Amino acid sequence: MIQAVIFDLDGTLVQTENLKAQSYALAAVELGRGRFSEQDVIQAFKEVVGLSRQEVAQYLLERFELEVAAGDRMEAYHAMTPWQAYVQIRMKTYESMLDEPMAIVRHRCPYNLDLLIWAREYKYKTGLATMSHWSQVSRILQILDISNEFDFIATGDDVNTGKPDPEIYLLMAHELGIQPAAGLVIEDSLTGVKAAVAAGMGCVAMTSKFTEKSVRSSGLLDNRWIVDNPAELKPKVKAYIEQTA
């Protein structure tokens, strides 16, 4: 029986993946000096969405041959590696995006947020499990006015190993006081789905243009529990809960 509904944040409650992709793209184009377009980088970002900053940065540096250019910026950013310098360049843009409340509001996911409110109304425990850092998470939650809608919030600051490792979802189960099988996770990325499944939780994937292909081709979830149309999310979740009752 499902006792808790647990949400990812980026790409699930708010489409910050769009903003992240754009920030990585702008930083890469700056380093590449016109050798490729923002859209080229955004397309490549789809291959690593949901992974850690290090993994995303290293992939894009290699994909667009930017290691030397990023290495030249290490001293300016007090970085120890080229990927760290790239991340710092990218974070300047991303932080400025998060400083624009209306950018977050425009990228909110209304159907997914409606599911959160429904879960609260029907007395399910609710959790937020995101690999973003608390400073960014708290800002987004305040803008969306949902800071008080969760029984427990776990961020990347709370775990040693990120998704697809199940650590964050096992932590969530412990703090919510449930067995993992009593949790239903709402995720958008393949790494998040892998983490939920590895933790022994149920999962419904609400995919995006960045994640649909990888989630469907993974075979980790029955197609019934992969949602491409946001309007179908709540009915799918209700159906999942009913089948486990």
| Sign of the alpha-carbon dihedral angle for 35, 39, 42, 44 | negative
* Domain's final residue, options 101, 121, 154: 101
* Domain's final residue, options 74, 101, 128: 101
Q: Do residue 94 and residue 112 come from a single domain?
A: no
Q: Do residue 39 and residue 113 come from a single domain?
A: no
Q: Do residue 80 and residue 121 come from a single domain?
A: no
* Domain's final residue, options 60, 77, 101: 101
Whole-structure pTM value = 0.86
Q: Do residue 49 and residue 160 come from a single domain?
A: no
Q: Do residue 154 and residue 90 come from a single domain?
A: no
Q: Do residue 196 and residue 234 come from a single domain?
A: yes
CATH code of 237's domain: 3.40.50.1000
- Per-residue pLDDT at 239: 97
Q: 78 — alpha (psi -120 to 50), left (phi > 0) or beta? A: left
- Per-residue pLDDT at 53: 87
Q: Are 207 and 15 in contact (CB under 8 A)?
A: no
- How many angstroms separate the Cα of 113 from the Cα of each of 13, 19, 80, 162? 6, 19, 39, 24
Q: Do residue 60 and residue 166 come from a single domain?
A: no
Tell me, rounded to whole angstroms, the distance of Cα 225 from its chain centroid.
18
Q: Do residue 131 and residue 215 come from a single domain?
A: yes
pLDDT digit string (tens) for the chain, length 245 residues: 999 999 999 989 998 888 889 999 999 999 999 899 999 999 999 888 878 889 999 999 999 999 999 999 999 999 999 999 999 999 999 888 888 899 899 999 999 999 999 999 999 999 999 998 898 899 999 999 999 999 999 999 999 999 999 999 999 999 999 999 999 999 999 999 999 999 999 999 999 888 888 999 999 999 999 999 999 999 999 999 999 88
- Per-residue pLDDT at 49: 83
Give how many domains the chain has, as a whole number. Answer: 2
CA torsion, ordered 47, 50, 52, 54, to nearest 10 deg: 20
Range of the domain at 66: 17-101
State the residue for tokens 């983490």: 195
Q: How far apart, in whole angstroms, are the C-alpha atoms of residue 204 and residue 221?
A: 8
- Per-residue pLDDT at 52: 82
- Per-residue pLDDT at 58: 97
Query: Which token pair is 210?
Result: 């960045």
Q: Do residue 236 and residue 168 come from a single domain?
A: yes
Q: Do you find a cis peptide bond into 164, omega within 30 degrees of 0?
A: yes
Q: Do residue 9 and residue 49 come from a single domain?
A: no
Q: Do residue 36 and residue 86 come from a single domain?
A: yes
State the residue for tokens 């754009």: 22
- Per-residue pLDDT at 119: 98
Q: Do residue 121 and residue 237 come from a single domain?
A: yes
